[in-house]
Structure 1
Amino acid sequence: MFLIFIQMKFVLFTLFLCGFILEINGKSSSGAWLPEEKSLVACEGTVARLHCEEGQAIYVTSAIYGRSNRMTCYVGIPKEQTKNTNCATRAESVFQRCEGKSTCNILASSSVFGDPCVGTYKYLDVIYLCEIPSATE
């Protein structure tokens, strides 16, 4: 009987702890909600679709266009077009076009970003946050 009581206390404590963790998940130590970080990759010739929930805005933290590894966007592409992995550049247009909007579509193309590596199949790699805009904006 004592063993069952101990097991029940452990189960209740575990449930309490899990509930507590779920309640604080996604909040800072001050209790404010933390912004959600999102990432996406758009292979050359496709459209990157950045999206935040209603009432939130896009804040781009990183955007590169080119190629920094062989494994991203490689399926069906000749090996000679994925071997140059040192040609990624900052995709400034993503910052300019998408910052502060709730949705943004941008073509992953050398016509938009320039061609940092001729003859290499490229991709757009974006990391962004969805935040509630501040009142000063």
Structure 2
Amino acid sequence: MINTSAAEVFNSIQHKSFIACGNTIMRLNCSSTNDILRIIGANYGRFTSFLCHPNSWPTPSSQWDLQCSAGGSFAIASERCDGKPTCTLKPSTTLFGDPCTTTPKYLEVLYRCVAFSMEVHVLQEEEAKQQNGIL
């Protein structure tokens, strides 16, 4: 079993996925100083027993809820990180709530770095579409 406090698990040119175990600090950043974060997806909860396996958790892993998901994860991560060159998130029940009380949780965030000027252009297009009733 993997017992890492924070691990970058998937990278591609378009997006990155980062996992941080409960009560650690997740730091998302873009390598270029002209780029900003754009959150694509986020989940605070648990979908596998193989990641972030705390040895001292009172409930055996066979009883963990592997469909555990805090409903507001994406909104919270987006609010705190979108449009910034770097941000930190602490995967905790204080921030995300406790969707499964007997299960240890981790935070997974899928994001990409986009050029600041490109992001401004995309936001302007979305705003124009909303004003014209297209979105």
Q: Same fold (TM over 0.5)?
A: yes
Taking a change above 3 Å as real, the CA distance of residues 121 and 51 of structure 1, as seen in their structure-2 partners, is same
Provide the identity percentage.
32
Please list every run of 5 or more consecutive structure 2 residues that lacks an aligned counterpart in the other structure: 1-11, 124-135
Specify which of 19, 23, 26 is matched with residue 41 of structure 1: 19
Structure whose CA Rg is larger = 1
Specify which of 106, 109, 116 is matched with residue 89 of structure 2: 106
**TM-fit CA distance, 1:35:** 5.3
- Equivalent runs, 1:18-29 vs 2, <5 Å: none
**TM-fit CA distance, 1:41:** 0.5
Specify which of 43, 49, 67 is matched with residue 86 of structure 1: 67
**TM-fit CA distance, 1:76:** 2.1
Cα deviation digits, residues 66-121 of structure 1 (max 9, x gap): 11111110152547254211112341210111001010001100100011111211
Aligned residues of 1:81 and 1:119 also touching (Cα < 8 A): no
**TM-fit CA distance, 1:39:** 1.1
Aligned residues of 1:45 and 1:109 also touching (Cα < 8 A): yes
Aligned residues of 2:44 and 2:70 also touching (Cα < 8 A): yes
Q: TM (normalized to structure 2)?
A: 0.69
CA distance in 1, matches of 2:16, 2:83: 15
Taking a change above 3 Å as real, the CA distance of residues 120 and 75 of structure 1, as seen in their structure-2 partners, is closer
Taking a change above 3 Å as real, the CA distance of residues 132 and 84 of structure 1, as seen in their structure-2 partners, is same
Taking a change above 3 Å as real, the CA distance of residues 84 and 100 of structure 1, as seen in their structure-2 partners, is same
**RMSD between aligned residues:** 2.0
CA distance in 2, matches of 1:75, 1:111: 19
Taking a change above 3 Å as real, the CA distance of residues 75 and 121 of structure 1, as seen in their structure-2 partners, is closer
Aligned residues of 2:70 and 2:98 also touching (Cα < 8 A): no
Q: TM (normalized to structure 1)?
A: 0.68
- The aligned length equals 104
Q: Which residue of the partner structure matches residue 58 of structure 1?
A: 37
